[in-house]
């Protein structure tokens, strides 16, 4: 690392919560709609998903747009069930890692997410981890749909760090999406790509020597 970080900025999906980006497509396919994977993926997605992640679309507008894209007469509940199918759980050891990191660093969360996923993953964490205030686990936690900005745009990194008087050059960003890592580096942050095929966030923090 360039310099010892003071602040850690963590992604949510893939870094803390397990995500299967193809699960939603499989669930839509079970209903007979086979084209969802062409619309949505971790690396590239239809503009409707970007708009939903920045709050430009309401949940109602998003559901209607999905129905239109799939030419499907499906209920709001069916859309939400399929859309949330990608969300897994957070292993307890990752939450313990966050607690340990907070003893040494300012730990922030920045997630590209939306107003359907937020209550869904907060309910998962409450049910499986017993955590009823997910944002309270961090010194600051930010969702793109609430900010009106999303990664990898430099503005969202600068906004979040400014909220905590964090120096970009002393901030280490960890994300499993390489385009977000490139965006963070362009914004002046240190950034590491978490390659989930090789390691998880716990192994990465050990490899980087973030904890003694």
How is domain 23-84 classified at the CATH fold level? DNA polymerase; domain 1 (1.10.150)
Cα–Cα distance between 88 and 147 in angstroms, integer? 24
Residue 189 has pLDDT above 60, yes or no: yes
pLDDT for residue 203: 97
- What pTM was computed for the model? 0.94
**Strand runs labelled E in the chain:** 7-10, 106-111, 140-143, 171-175, 190-193
pLDDT for residue 71: 84
DSSP string, 79-98: HHHHHHTTB----HHHHHHH
Extents of the domains making up the chain = 7-18+91-207, 23-84
Which carries the bigger pLDDT value, residue 49 or residue 59? 59
pLDDT for residue 148: 98
Mean pLDDT along residues 183-203: 98
Residue 121 has pLDDT above 90, yes or no: yes
- C-beta separation of 72 from 183 below 8 A: no
**CATH architecture of the domain covering 7-18+91-207:** 3-Layer(aba) Sandwich (3.40)
Residue 38 has pLDDT above 60, yes or no: yes
């Amino acid at each position: 690392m360039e310099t010892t970080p003071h602040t850690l900025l963590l992604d949510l999906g893939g870094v803390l919560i397990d995500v299967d980006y193809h699960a939603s497509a499989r669930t839509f396919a079970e209903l007979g709609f086979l084209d969802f994977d062409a619309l949505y993926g971790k690396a590239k997605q239809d503009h409707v998903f970007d708009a939903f992640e920045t709050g430009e679309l309401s949940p109602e507008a998003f559901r209607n747009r999905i129905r239109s894209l799939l030419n499907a007469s499906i209920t709001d509940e069916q859309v939400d069930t399929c859309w949330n199918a990608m969300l897994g759980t957070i292993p307890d050891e990752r939450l313990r890692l966050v607690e340990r990191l907070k003893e040494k660093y300012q730990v922030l969360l920045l997630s590209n997410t939306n107003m359907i996923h937020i209550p869904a993953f907060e309910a998962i964490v409450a049910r499986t981890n017993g955590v009823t205030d997910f944002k309270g686990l961090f010194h600051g936690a930010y969702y793109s749909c609430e900010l009106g900005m999303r990664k990898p745009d430099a503005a969202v990194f600068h906004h979040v760090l400014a909220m905590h008087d964090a120096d970009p050059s002393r901030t280490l960003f960890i994300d499993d999406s390489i385009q977000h890592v490139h965006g963070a580096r362009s914004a002046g942050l240190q950034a590491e790509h978490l390659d989930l095929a090789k390691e998880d966030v716990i192994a990465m923090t050990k490899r980087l020597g973030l904890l003694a």
